[in-house]
Amino acid sequence: MTIKHINPAALYDGAASGMSQATLDTDSGLVFVSGQVDWNSEHRANHPGIAAQTESAAKNLITVLEAAGSSVEHLLQLRVYIRGEISEHLDKVVPVLVKYLGVSRPALTGIGVTSLASPDLLIEIEAVAKVAK
């Protein structure tokens, strides 16, 4: 198995914490995307609301997928971590996910959590995808 680390220059640098934005198993073509959030280079959220943070995280996800040679059409699984009770945020999160995911309809799990990497973060999106052929 050969692993390629994917770290688009447009996203925050995770080297200090020992992470990559994604890893690609070049043998299987599977792309494992780290949780994408609404962070700037100082590791602070760019937006206070969950809808805007979801949009930013979705755009970051697309950036990572494209850097790995994949796309939303090749998503296999999403895990969406939401700070707080999920049902309280679905009306803001779901329309944004539909806007960016189109008709890809990956397997999706929503998980309510008490905290994320920073107190100002409200959502994190993790994914598994296949490289486009």
Contact 36, 60 (CB under 8 A): yes
For 52, the domain range is 3-130
**pTM listed for this prediction:** 0.95
Considering only CA atoms, which of 76, 85, 88, 84 is closest in space to residue 33? 76
Q: How many domains would you assign to the chain?
A: 1
> Rounded to a whole number, what is the largest CA-CA distance in the chain?
42
Q: Residues 11, 64: contact at Cβ < 8 Å? A: yes
Residue 48 half-sphere exposure toward CB, CA atoms < 13 A: 0
* Spacing of C-alpha 17 from chain mean position: 17
CATH for 56? 3.30.1330.40
- Digit-by-digit pLDDT tens for the chain (133 residues) are 799 999 999 998 888 889 999 999 999 999 999 999 998 777 888 999 999 999 999 999 999 999 999 999 999 999 999 999 999 999 999 999 999 988 889 999 999 999 999 999 999 999 999 998 7
